[in-house]
Amino acid sequence: MNKKNLRRYNIIQLLLTLVIAILLAFISSNIYYRIDLTSEKRYTLSASTQQILNKLTSHVYVQVYLEGEMPVGFKKLRRSVKDMLDEFRIRSGKKIIYEFIDPFDPGSREKNQKMMKTLYEKGLQPTNIHDSDEEGGISQKIVFPGMIMNYDGMEMTVNILENNPAKNGVQNLNSSIEDIEYKMIRAIHNLSTDTIYKIAFLEGHGELDEFSVGDITYELAKYYNVDRGVIGGQLNVLDKFAAIIIAKPELKFSEADKFVIDQYIMNGGRVLWLLEAVQVRSDSLQSAGFTTGLYRPLNLVDQLFKYGVRVNPKIIQDQQCSIIPINIALAGQQPKFSPVPWIYYPLLTPLDNHPITKNLNLVRSEFVNVLDTVSTDYGIRKEYLLYTSKFSRVISPPVRISLEEIKNPPGLKEFNLSHLPVAVLLEGSFESVFKNRPTDRYIGEMKYQVIEKSVPTRMIVVADGDIIRNEVRRTATGNIPLPLGQDRYTKQTYGNKDFILNAVNYLIDDINLMNIRSKELKLRLLDKNRAKREKIMWQFINVVVPVLFVIFFGVVVVVFRRRKYTTVRVRK
């Protein structure tokens, strides 16, 4: 080949190479394809997440307050958040724009306090972290592990960190990483959706008032339009609501109201029942030192039985319980209060492998009853969500409950019942309690065909109304609801708010967002004692051995080349 042809050949080859490179770059930038090689598929987005991200019409701006000097665990959390945001950004067609912000200025204490106040008012929960070094020194820092999302001028706060006192710090961080996808996509879905579901608290049967459920109402209002109202026997009055909440009724339900609720369920309505079959007045216990537990019929036994569950009129006592303050001062002395465990206030254990209760803290209850399920012929799926500890017992009304019981509590041998169910999820097609019963008086002159079997739907029954009730502080300016689940004596926050919020979300969830919470990441922990014991060896392997390998490889190459190019070949 002459020089002219060789030059032409090289130019054509160069042009072909450039064209192929440009084509590959264009294809790789427009075709989304990633391979998740992790065993638990931690980087694979759920179908629901992908569906929501694909439908975004505007940009989502995300400010993440996980920047600056932090312990290793929080750096891992930050990296996981960044990885998830990158996945969201790619899947959404670059509609997710994010930045990591250090909220604290090391040179201005006044600015830091102002920033802390601003973030707290927006809903970000601060946490105080302690980091220790090998010399025993401890550093303390306040961080705001959360983010603020903005979409079309609407803003939502997302708290990332799980803080379950029953778990250690590493487990809480792992739980936080597991829930990152759900928390983020839940907020994006809520900001971007055009459909806002309506839910309602029922009234008219002595249910908890708006102040007693004020905190959870405020939380639910971030996701739904929340209403309150009386049924009044009006058929179809509930049809506009995606779910209803019946919170601790004290009066009997009329047959007309039962019929309205029943037909609402038959049409696919979802119900969160929070019922108590035993009436106990806590205010009498505080003022007089004793109270009574009496059976309280609500005229719902037949209806719930038909759906597959029964609330038994029995009060649970549990060794795993919260505390109450008791005055231990002698008569005539200044009051002196001491915290003591109160077996009538069980701390309920959540089911750990269900989307509603996964990674949930213990749930605080008061004078709780016990549930049991009954067999049905139409395939209702039942799953218990909350239950007591393995040291429980029950007592039946009528019963006198006195603070004197603290001095002489029942022996441990008497707590011979384990894991008594308190909350149950029912899913399937329910049969109407009014099947084969005359219903003309409830329908009136309306042309209405009674539905005797429901479309597939869901309901949750909880045998305690106080799970949803928050304390109320009475002031001269009005009533102020206190945080739900917070013990006002120990200031510990239990999982009541998360349980109710997750329960309502699950009932209404038609796109299976809640199933994202089922994702489980394996916790692979280092053996700290072994790591400390073998520290020198692993430092040598990771630092010195690679250098020695490079040197050895270089020497081998030099020797090989010297032999190859200094050997004299003799032609025969």
Q: How far apart are CA 345 and CA 339, in angstroms?
A: 13
Q: How far apart are CA 332 and CA 82, in angstroms?
A: 62
CATH topology match: 47-191 vs 195-518: no
Q: Which two tokens stand for residue 437?
A: 């019963």
Mean pLDDT by 10 residues, the chain (572 residues): 72 87 78 65 82 91 88 86 91 91 80 86 82 58 88 90 76 84 91 90 95 94 93 91 96 94 95 95 81 93 94 95 81 77 94 89 94 81 94 94 88 92 95 89 81 94 96 86 87 90 92 78 68 83 88 87 68 50
Contact 142, 171 (CB under 8 A): no
CA 284 from centroid of its chain's CA atoms? 35
Contact 488, 471 (CB under 8 A): yes
**Domain map (residue ranges) of the chain:** 47-191, 195-518
Give the bridge partners for 363, in sequence order. 348
Name the H helices within 36-106: 47-54, 72-91
47-191, CATH topology level: Glutaredoxin (3.40.30)
Q: What is the DSSP letter of 542?
A: I
Question: Within 10 A of 414 (CB to CB), how many other CB atoms are there?
Answer: 11
pTM over 0.85? The answer is no
Q: How far apart are CA 473 and CA 135, in angstroms?
A: 46
Q: Cβ neighbours of residue 495 under 8 Å, at least 6 residues apart?
A: 164, 350, 360, 361, 362, 363, 485
pLDDT at 1: 55
Sequential DSSP letters for 507-530: HH-SS--GGGGG---------HHH
Question: What 3-state DSSP class applies to 233?
Answer: coil
Q: What is the DSSP letter of 9?
A: H
Tokens 């809480």 sit on residue: 172
Sequential DSSP letters for 180-218: HHHHHHHHHHHHH-S---EEEEEESSS---TTTTHHHHH
pLDDT at 224: 93
Burial of 29 from C-beta contacts in 10 A (0-12 / 13-18 / 19+): exposed
Q: How far apart are CA 95 and CA 88, in angstroms?
A: 8
Q: How far apart are CA 25 and CA 565, in angstroms?
A: 42
pLDDT at 217: 95
Question: Within 10 A of 490 (CB to CB), how many other CB atoms are there?
Answer: 11
Strand extents, DSSP E, 20-59: none
195-518, CATH topology level: Rossmann fold (3.40.50)
Q: Cβ neighbours of residue 93 under 8 Å, at least 6 residues apart?
A: 54, 56
